[in-house]
Amino acid sequence: MKRKLLASLVGMALITGSSAFAAGVTDAMIEKDAQSVGDVLSWGMGQQGQRYTPLDKINAGNISKLVPAWSFSFGGEKQRGQESQPLVHNGKMFVTGSYSRIYALDAKSGKKLWKYEHRLPEGIMPCCDVINRGAALFDNLVIFATLDAQLVALDQNTGDVVWKEKIDDYAAGYSASAAPLIAKGLLLTGVSGGEFGVIGRVEARDPKTGKMVWTRPVVEGHMGYKYEGGKAIENGISGTTNKTWPGDLWKSGGATTWLGGTYDATTGLAYFGTGNPAPWNSHLRPGDNLFSTSTVAVDVATGKITWHYQKTPNDGWDYDGVNEFITFDMDGKRMGASADRNGFFYVIDAKNGKLNGAFPFVSKITWATGIDLKTGRPNYDPANRPGDPTKGPDGKKGNVVFSAPSFLGGKNQQPMAYSPKTGLFYVPANEWGMEIWNEPVTYKKGAAYLGAGFTIKPLHDDYIGAMRAIDPKTGKIVWENKNSAPLWGGVMTTGGNLVFYGTPEGFIKAVDAKNGKELWKFQTGSGVVAPPISWEEGGEQYVAVVSGWGGAVPLWGGEVAKKVNTLEQGGSVWVFKLLK
């Protein structure tokens, strides 16, 4: 009887198109995400984060026929800062919106299937707008982080909450906005809030239940833990207490892992970038301040930091180090690349962290004259470090210096892409500098913890943003396309030799991956600060991007923000396919 009933239900599911019996997303499926074309299962279009699809049905020969298939509005008054990368599985698109919302849409028609809107408390303290960068899929769940530092897992079919777990205390300055990472069957997440003196860390959970497996702080001196039977067991201190931090400053050291991570199955390592040390005033914290402004390679099984590479030791400019670490093959080795906020493009051995190359990818870098390839350390220009406020005229403000890039970076959150077909990285770069000075500051829980002031200024009259194709072997900029406003959205490249990216002026563009020639563009109605994706369904290739101006630029941009204050906010998903 039970067999007949099950067969009947399965038959009904096939007839009606119900996904109730559809196979759940597995770790094996996620590891193959970069090669599969019928879905998009992870942030980065694959765990490595290359943002490359082998699909070539849309190409230079027919891109002029690319037209909207559908558009969906997030609705309401919450139309700002849409940085989300959608996911696609089993005919559904899962896309997060500002203010910690998530939607399930029919991927072919755009019809809303369900919506979940997280209830946020009044006291949230996000540093850089009310954004969310996306979700993770596992089994029958879609999982995303919220601005009040929680993780929420929803049923993919119904939107019902399956589990909810607190990451940390939002009243202390913690928040979360990155898309979680699935690796080896674990859910890996980071934390935001470095401007509030919180402690950066990477955590691993069981994605089916949300229960903790291990946690690894990335500020030297803090203890890591593994969890067995619900009990926390000490798993070793990160680094050596006080080795690179003076006094008690390590207790509020920042170094948050706010962009999330990537994973490489060939190395078994997850790669997370760490943010600025706290406070910004570097005169208060002599030393390297590990593991801030670094790429840390974490053993997924244990949470151990296998290696680290620090890009800006004793950071005094808020250069962070969180930008994505994308692994790729070069000259027979597994390498990783990161375009850092400090203006250098780093190529690093993904297995051991040894520096292979470091190249400027912006036109002006003032804080250092270069990177020593033997030691891996920058050659600082001491005159370009913001002054010690205690030695200023009134003891309240240090000497002002003009530094480039600005703290918003040669590249910020907007993810770059890599094409194994061309061997090039496609980097959304920005050209700007800043006047910056230090001020006295003391730590207070839940309060901003900067100790610095700043004004951002463009370096050129005609452009700020520049999409650049970079050869990782030489650092050569093969081509560039300049853009009047800053580039704040991510990039995708395809087997059709196309590069897709968006602009704050509202366009999504497609250019030739080999020479940068613009081939197509479409006006979405608001600024694009999110990365595009592509997938295939029913024999057709689709391209999608989220539109909605916002993020850090209008909040922190100074003179740059004034230059782009005419741009309209919004909140929508646009999906395109070829006109038949």
Which residues does the annotation mark as catalytic? 318
Give residue 508's identity as a one-letter amino acid code: I
Neighbouring C-beta atoms of residue 22, cutoff 10 Å: 15
Give residue 253's identity as a one-letter amino acid code: G
Contact by Cβ (8 Å): 548, 500: no
Both structure tokens of 163 = 């589990």
Residue positions counted in the chain: 580
Give residue 439's identity as a one-letter amino acid code: E
Distances from the Cα of 183 to the Cαs of 162, 334, 381, in angstroms?
20, 18, 40
Give the burial class of 169: count Cβ atoms within 10 A of its Cβ; 0-12 exposed, 13-18 middle, 19 or more buried: middle
Q: Name every residue whose Cβ is closer than 8 Å to that of residue 101 and which is 6 or more positions away in sequence.
A: 74, 78, 115, 116, 117, 118, 132
- Which residue has tokens 């890009």? 311
CA dihedral 284, 290, 292, 293 (to 10 degrees): 110
- How far is CA 330 from its chain centroid? 24
67 bridge partner residues: 577
Nearest to 473 by CA among 335, 378, 266: 335
Torsion sign (Cα): 73, 77, 81, 86:
negative
Report cis status (omega within 30 of 0) of the bond before 279. Answer: yes
Q: Using CA atoms, how far apart are residues 37 and 27, in angstroms rounded to an integer?
A: 17
The β-bridge relationship of strands 52-53 and 491-494 is: parallel
Three-state secondary structure along 37-74?
A: CCCECCCCCCCCCCCEECCCCCCCCCHHHEEEEEEEEC
Contact by Cβ (8 Å): 438, 281: yes
Query: What is the Cβ-side half-sphere exposure of residue 10, based on CA atoms within 13 angstroms?
Result: 8
- Which residue has tokens 């190409």? 59
Q: Using CA atoms, how far apart are residues 194 and 47, in angstroms rounded to an integer?
A: 25
Nearest to 104 by CA among 146, 158, 150, 140: 158
Neighbouring C-beta atoms of residue 503, cutoff 10 Å: 26
